[in-house]
Structure 1
Amino acid sequence: MKVAYRSDIGKIRDLDEDSILVIRIDSVYSSIRQERALFILADGMGGHNAGEVASSLAVRKIAEYLFPTLISLADVDWSLALRSGIKEVNKSVIDYGIKNPEFQGMGTTLVVAILIDRKLYVGNIGDSRLYLINGNRKEIRQVTKDHSLVQKLVDNGKITKEEARDHPQKNIITRAIGCFPEVEADTFELDLERDDIILLCCDGLTDVVDDDEIKEIVLRNKDIQKVCDELIKAANDRGGPDNISVILAM
């Protein structure tokens, strides 16, 4: 497996409020080699106090929660582990804000992926996304669903997906870490195909680069780090209005 990642401040913001983490584990158990990895991306919300603190805290806490089980090779309900872990992260961020009033009200999105051989387990809160891009079929699929006002409008048939991209309320999210006493993450379990490419990204990319262009950029280059760089360049070429973070695995 090849992995690349990058976070960029963009062209407008004074601070990068995104946080990303990649942990890879190669293990041998009962003579069977297993590849395990943990991918985490969080987008601290610019409209809240200290979004960069919220995102870095969320990434650290979810990693601390999941990592011991990931290396134990235990038989685990990973969807349950993701939901429970994200609840604990939410509590940690809220508690930190209570103890440090200058950070009270901070919030962040969170998307987490656990890879165990060809099985992928995903959990998310907010509007940061995970995509699967299949190199053989030349297809892109958004696995996660945004927790946002415009996504609700799309689901209710009020606006189209295309109209949602330029909607004046597109940045209003309906679930986030640190903003509500209780949160419920969405979780997904996927069997990966040989040609699947995993992409985690924040709205700094998806607000300005559409899915088809993301797919084209990912598939036209075999250098995975260059793909990350080109995705970020595409967002910055469109003004870079927000921080841009991507994690790629293939």
Structure 2
Amino acid sequence: MWFKVVSNKGKIRDSNEDNYYIKSSINFLMVADGMGGHAAGEVASQIAVETCKKFDFDLTNPLATLKKLTQAINQKIINESNQVAAYQGMGTTFVAALLVNDCLYYVNLGDSRIYVFKNQKGELTKLSRDHSLVENLLREGKITEKEAFNHPRKNIVTQALGLEKKLDIDSGSYKLAADDYLLLCTDGLTDMIPRGKIENYFNEYSDPELLSKNLLAGALTAGGADNITFIVAGQNEN
């Protein structure tokens, strides 16, 4: 499996509180978008990375192991928050995926996302479900996708790791075709570029390097209002 990674602090933020991790030996990948004052967001997303690095993955039950990992990260962030006053209230989004025998397994907490681009159809589909105020309105049919993209409160998440012990983990699986692409990203990308335009980038640039450069350029040109982190991945060698 191949991977292309971009992580950029954007045009507005002073630091980058996003983090990512790839374990290529088991086709595992994750991104996390930290939140909290005094750089605590960066601490929370880094805890997610460090926990992933040390975690003992059970590939015989991918979804269960991803959920166990998510719970472990959540507890470690809570523990750290309780020990350091400056870290109280810190949290992070978390989206992670495992590819096992052409089947993609994923978990998600917050508003970072995982998409699959179907090369044969030229279609980009969001697999994950956001834990956000706007996603709830969208699912209830109260707003359109365009209204969701432009909503003034689209940055409000309803769940993230480190905020409470009880988690409503979004999870699922998806059978990948050999030429499908994956996109894992923080909202620094999707808040700047609507889904249809991201889909256009995938259709226009088959080379992962060019695709990644243009996705970043598009997000920065649109304002770069947040940290921008994403992983583009696929099974075929490029």
* 2:115 equivalent among 111, 123, 131: 131
What does residue 10 of structure 1 align with?
10
Task: Tell me which amino acid in the other structure corresponds to 2:181.
Answer: I
Taking the aligned partners of 2:115 and 2:50, their CA distance within structure 1 comes to 23
- Does 1:69 find its partner at 2:57? yes
Q: 1:247: how far off?
A: 0.2
**Corresponding residue of 2:159:** 175
User: What is the alpha-carbon distance in structure 1 between the residues aligned to residue 233 and residue 130 of structure 2?
Assistant: 21
Q: What's the offset of the Cα at 1:221?
A: 2.1
Calculate the aligned-residue CA RMSD, in Å: 1.5
Tell me, in whole angstroms, the C-alpha distance in 2 between the residues paired with 1:83 and 1:219.
Answer: 33
Partner of residue 75 from structure 2, selected from 72, 82, 91: 91
CA shift at 1:2, angstroms?
2.2
Equivalent residue in structure 2 for 1:60, among 43, 50, 54: 50
* 1:144-194 superposed Cα distances (whole Å, 9 cap, x missing partner): 011000111111222122111111211111110011122131111111112
Q: CA deviation at 1:226?
A: 2.5
Aligned to 1:40, which of 30, 36, 54? 30
CA distance in 2, matches of 1:146, 1:47: 23
1:119 maps onto 2:95 in alignment: no
Partners in 2 of 1:90 and 1:48 — Cα distance?
20
Q: Give me the whole-angstrom Cα distance separating, in 2, the residues matched to 1:229 and 1:219.
A: 14
Alpha-carbon shift at residue 244 of structure 1 (Å): 0.3
DSSP-derived class of the 1:96 partner: helix
The answer to whether the Cα contact below 8 Å between 2:38 and 2:86 also exists between their aligned partners in 1 is: no
d(CA) in 2 for partners of 1:178 and 1:48?
Answer: 16
How far does the alpha carbon of each residue in 1:31-55 deviate from its partner, in whole angstroms, 9 at most, with x for none?
A: xxxxx31101000125686101101
Q: CA 1:86–1:48 in 2, change beyond 3 Å: closer, same or farther?
A: farther
Deviations 1:99-130 (A, max 9, x none): 12111111100000001231111001000000
Over the matched positions of the two proteins, sequence identity in percent amounts to 38
Partner of 1:241: 225
SS at match of 2:91: coil
TM superposition shift of 1:231: 0.8
Name structure 2 gaps, 5 residues minimum: none
How many corresponding residue pairs?
234
The 5-angstrom pairing of residues 160-171 of structure 1 reads: 160-171=144-155
1:224 counterpart residue number: 208
| In 1: Cα distance, 2:211 partner to 2:16 partner | 20
| Counterparts of 1:240 and 1:230, CA distance in 2 | 13
* Alpha-carbon distance, 1:69 to partner: 2.8
Matched residue, 2:23: 23
Amino acid at match of 1:24: S
Give 1:58 deviation, angstroms: 1.1
User: How far off its partner does 1:62 sit?
Assistant: 2.9
